[in-house]
């Protein structure tokens, strides 16, 4: 496959994924959107491996590395400033607090991931792609596991009890707006 064909296929895949996401968001089923994104990305990755032309060379990697470092620094500073501003003004709107903590956690995740990747690449050659993919898969799995446990453990949540929403722990977000029917 040549680069032009791959670019066309990638564009079509992106359009289909975007359409699928829009549709699933409109019907309020985010799981389908998530599956569409994962399957679409895997498909594009599969097609990418079939391209015979050179897609990226040492210059692209060098520029990409510099761009990523600057982007990370800029994002981190913006996130930290925004986080403190939102926490400072949390009394104006209760939703500011979860947004601030989301920014904080995402920045921490970004910095930790960068540190791990930097340490990995400074020790191992870039040729060991299988090891690299395994490391990335483990990191993603750990993030999903920790995030899932944190989000779905039931701690710090609202529980429906006798027709009323009751706090369980210390949820930082307001009670659900839907009616409680237990």
Give the shortest CB-14-to-other proteins separation in angstroms: 22
Residue closer to other proteins (CB basis): 67 or 166? 67
Give the shortest CB-128-to-other proteins separation in angstroms: 17
Give the shortest CB-50-to-other proteins separation in angstroms: 18
Residue closer to other proteins (CB basis): 57 or 179? 57
Instruction: With H, G, I as helix, E, B as strand and everything else as coil, classify residue 62.
Output: helix
Residue closer to other proteins (CB basis): 48 or 167? 48
Contact between 88 and 46 (Cβ < 8 Å): no
Phi/psi zone of residue 28: left (φ > 0), alpha (ψ -120 to 50 degrees), beta?
left
Q: What residues line the site for other proteins (CB under 8 A)?
A: 54-60
Query: What whole-number distance in Å separates Cα of residue 33 and Cα of residue 20?
Result: 6
Query: What whole-number distance in Å separates Cα of residue 38 and Cα of residue 30?
Result: 12
């Amino acid at each position: 496959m040549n680069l032009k064909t791959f670019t066309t296929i990638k564009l079509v895949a992106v359009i289909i994924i975007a359409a699928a996401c829009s549709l699933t968001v409109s019907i309020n089923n985010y799981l389908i959107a998530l599956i569409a994104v994962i399957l679409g990305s895997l498909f594009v990755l599969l097609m990418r491996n079939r391209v015979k032309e050179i897609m990226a060379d040492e210059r692209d990697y060098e520029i990409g590395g510099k761009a990523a470092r600057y982007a990370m620094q800029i994002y981190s500073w913006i996130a930290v400033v925004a986080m403190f501003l939102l926490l400072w003004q949390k009394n104006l709107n209760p939703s500011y607090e979860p947004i601030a903590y989301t920014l904080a956690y995402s920045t921490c995740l970004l910095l930790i991931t960068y540190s791990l990747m930097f340490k990995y690449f400074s020790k191992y050659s870039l040729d060991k792609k299988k090891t690299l993919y395994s490391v990335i898969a483990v990191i993603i799995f750990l993030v999903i596991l920790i995030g899932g446990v944190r989000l779905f453990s039931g701690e710090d949540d609202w529980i429906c009890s006798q027709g009323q929403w009751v706090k369980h722990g210390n949820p930082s977000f307001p009670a659900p707006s839907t009616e409680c029917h237990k």
